[in-house]
Amino acid sequence: MVLEIFKSILMGIVQGVTEWLPISSTGHMLLLDQFLHITVSPIAQRNQDFFDVYKVVIQLGSILAVLVLYFQRLNPFSAKKSAAEKKETLFLWLKVLIASIPAGIAGILFDEQIDGVLATPYVISAALIFYGFLFIIAEGREREPRINDLSRLDGRTVFGIGVWQMLALVPGTSRSGATKLGGLLLGCSRLVAVEFSFFMAIPAMFGGSAIRLLKFAVENGEKYGGQYPALFSGVEWAVLLAGFVVAFVVSIGVIRFLLNFIKKHDFKAFGYYRIALGLLVLAYFGIIAR
């Protein structure tokens, strides 16, 4: 158990860092799993099923970090807010929900097909490289953002960002990266693109986690012939909790870092990093892993 918890701590660190930077948590977790494969059962399929759920559940730690850091801003019922401020907060949530529609529909309809067909190292590496170049191109334009405040986001823009989030269902794209890139291309400042991406993650990741957990619970008893009558074993709960807590703590620091970083820098560095990581994934699974 101690070794598996240590692996989970390392994965929680990677999750906390890569969830909010536009560099694809999927690509990093895929590579890390090759070297630190979490083993919670003597049944190989159980380990794979658990890891598929684990990757989604520890994301909730990252989401909790957003809720903690932005609680006052996201709380429409705060006694510290005026009536106008409460109304503005409710409008912000409405924008988040509108932006969540495309990915929500596509995720419900095609989640299983996407996982089964596109979750390959080659698709992930291609997505990493392609969107890396898009970041470099987007930041290479000379532009003046037309939206410098979240209150100025209109319905067409938030729905457009939602379409970009839908594209992130392709593994390796990065939900965080797609929404930030979409925001930039649709005229948002870096700060607006980053913060709106944070807020969009709340329904997206809560919804994704709920669907995966429900699916896991339904299949749990059938697949393993009653060997696992509970949703998770004690070891699995310990591993999940370790990853969740670490992802939360690391996410707090990374979110603060990113907000300070974009005040002086653009996203080109992340574009170059994505290209390098995509080539590494391609080389590892195309040459080394063989």
What is the DSSP secondary-structure string of 149-170? SGGG--HHHHHHHHHHHHHTTS
Q: For the chain, which residues score pLDDT lower than 70?
A: 115, 220-230, 288-290
The total of structural domains in the chain comes to 1
- Contacts of residue 207, defined as CB under 8 A and 6 or more positions apart, other chains included, come to 100, 104, 107
How far is the C-alpha of 160 from the C-alpha of 179, rounded, in Å? Answer: 9
- Residue-wise pLDDT for 88-139, tens only, equals 999 999 999 999 999 989 888 887 777 677 778 889 999 999 999 999 999 9
pLDDT for res 223: 62
Number of alpha carbons in the 13 Å side-chain half-sphere of residue 145:
20
26: helix, strand or coil: helix
DSSP 38-60: ----S-HHHHHHHHHHHHHHTHH
H or E segment and range at residue 146: none
pTM: 0.89
How far is the C-alpha of 228 from the C-alpha of 248, rounded, in Å? Answer: 28
188: helix, strand or coil: strand
Cβ proximity of 75 and 89 under 8 Å: yes
> What sign has the CA pseudo-torsion 243, 202, 199, 117?
positive
Cβ proximity of 38 and 27 under 8 Å: no
Residue type, 287: I
pLDDT for res 147: 95
Domain region containing 35 = 2-288
How far is the C-alpha of 196 from the C-alpha of 180, rounded, in Å? Answer: 8
pLDDT for res 288: 66
How far is the C-alpha of 32 from the C-alpha of 229, rounded, in Å? Answer: 30
pLDDT for res 227: 54
